[in-house]
Homo-oligomer: A and B are copies of this chain.
Amino acid sequence: MMEAEMHKEKSPREWRSAFRSGFVTPTTGLARGYAQANLVIMHKEYALDFASFCLRNPKPCPLLEIGSPGDPYTKFLAASADIRADIPLYWVYRHGVLVERVGDITSLWTEDLVYFLIGCSFGFEEALLSHGVPVRHIENGSNCPMYISNIDCIPAGPFSGKMVVSMRGIPASLVSKAVTITARYPLSHGAPVWVGDPEGLGIKDLDHPDFGDPPVLKPGDVPVFWACGVTAQMVASNAKLPLVIGHAPGHMFIADVLNEELSITGGS
């Protein structure tokens, strides 16, 4: 992390170049202002169903970009980023089993693979902070807690499963602000899906999340739940496809596009 701190002023392109050269770091807080994205790669025969799945479940899986089969270079989120090398760390699943953690997937790339880039919560967290809404796990230097909820995603082809949600403790007086601010970022999971009692989401023990670190709740904080992009990778690996490649948790794709360009007032 110290080396990462030293390079905080790098541009998205410079970060991607560092990752291509083998540098590995979580991407939280890097290239502030720029959008980051979840990665899912699969064979083209499943890709249309996966696109359908994402569209039917836009809160957990806001689609940002789909590659053309065999083409590893991005066109929309960045000009010609190499999806096989420009992410710090990849997880490789075969038939639903995590088999490898690697910094480069060029040797695995074939002409029938398709990449998906899906919105990530870092965008709205930055907006919360800049509007004075505290984000407890960032204050605490830990990862956001994530839970497998009881909300069924709408299935498509081989893809189905429960929605994964992320939780942030928000002071009661700031819940409205947190809702209206994050609603401006539909491609970054948008407004919360649930405010309050975790049991209604089927979460029995808030202190033991399914992914990430235990929650940080201060007195007076309300647990607020947002749809989470981990849903996409979980659903893809649950489908037990011959090959699924995702980013390692927290090691995202850094785009040339600003978070604000993906907000409701940005873009064209």
Contact = CB atoms under 8 A, between A and B. Distances in A.
Given A264-B186, A265-B191, A65 B48 contact: no
B55 A64 contact: yes
A66 B154 CA distance: 13
Interface string A179-205: 000011010001101000000000000
A66 B55 contact: yes
26 contacts: A47-B48, A48-B48, A48-B51, A48-B66, A48-B69, A49-B68, A51-B66, A52-B66, A52-B67, A52-B68, A55-B63, A55-B64, A55-B65, A55-B66, A55-B76, A56-B65, A56-B76, A63-B63, A68-B157, A75-B154, A76-B154, A183-B265, A186-B264, A191-B264, A193-B268, A227-B268
A59 interface: yes
Nearest to A182: B264
Given A151-B268, A186-B264, 6 more contacts: A52-B68, A55-B76, A56-B65, A59-B267, A186-B186, A193-B268
A128 to B, nearest CB: 16
Contacts of A58: 267
Report, as a range, how many residues of chain A touch the other chain. Answer: 35 or more
A156 interface: yes
B48 A114 contact: yes
Task: State the oligomeric state as a number of copies.
Answer: 2
A190 B264 contact: yes
Contacts of A75: 56, 154, 156
Interface in A59-91: 59, 63-69, 75-76
Contacts of A162: none
Nearest to A157: B68
A240 interface: no
Nearest to A151: B268
A49 B65 CA distance: 11
A68 B64 CA distance: 20
A101 interface: no
A47 to B, nearest CB: 5
A137 interface: no
B264 A264 contact: yes
